[in-house]
Amino acid sequence: MTSTAIGPATPLQSIWDMWGRLKDSGFNDRCSIRVFEGHLYSLMDDEDYYEESGNRKRINSLLYTWDHFRECALKDEKEESFDWSSRKIKRNDADHERINLLSDILDGDLRCLSD
């Protein structure tokens, strides 16, 4: 198989460890959210891993949920008065609750991936 990937998939244990640190931070650092996203998408970019790991459907489900999570987590970037120099995310209570719900779903999706 010819691969067009820019690199190998990030090991699942590394992704799980980063996810734990991201959760511990309260999902308040936009840079960390974007860096983590790159590691998640590496699971799809590595065609060998994506096609041969037995996780293709699980990865698709994980990334679908992640896209919703990211949209909610980085919602403040759409505001006209957004400060691009700040890594800190401003979030209201409703968005914070939604982030917590989506993070629980992502927890389950990540646990279902197999090495």
pLDDT digits (tens, 9 = 90+) for 77-94: 888 777 888 888 888 999
- Give ∠ CA 14-77-29 in degrees, rounded to 5: 35
Residue 18, in any domain of the structure: yes
pTM of the model: 0.87
Q: Which of 50, 47, 43, 17 is nearest to 32 (CA)?
A: 17
Total domains in the fold of the chain: 1
- What amino acid is encoded at 99 in this protein? I
Residue 47, in any domain of the structure: yes
Q: What is the mean pLDDT of the chain?
A: 89
Residue 6, in any domain of the structure: no
The percentage of the chain sitting over the pLDDT mark of 90, rounded to a whole number, equals 63
Q: Which residue range forms the structural domain that includes residue 31?
A: 12-112
- pLDDT tens per residue, range 4-37: 678 888 999 999 999 999 999 999 999 999 999 9
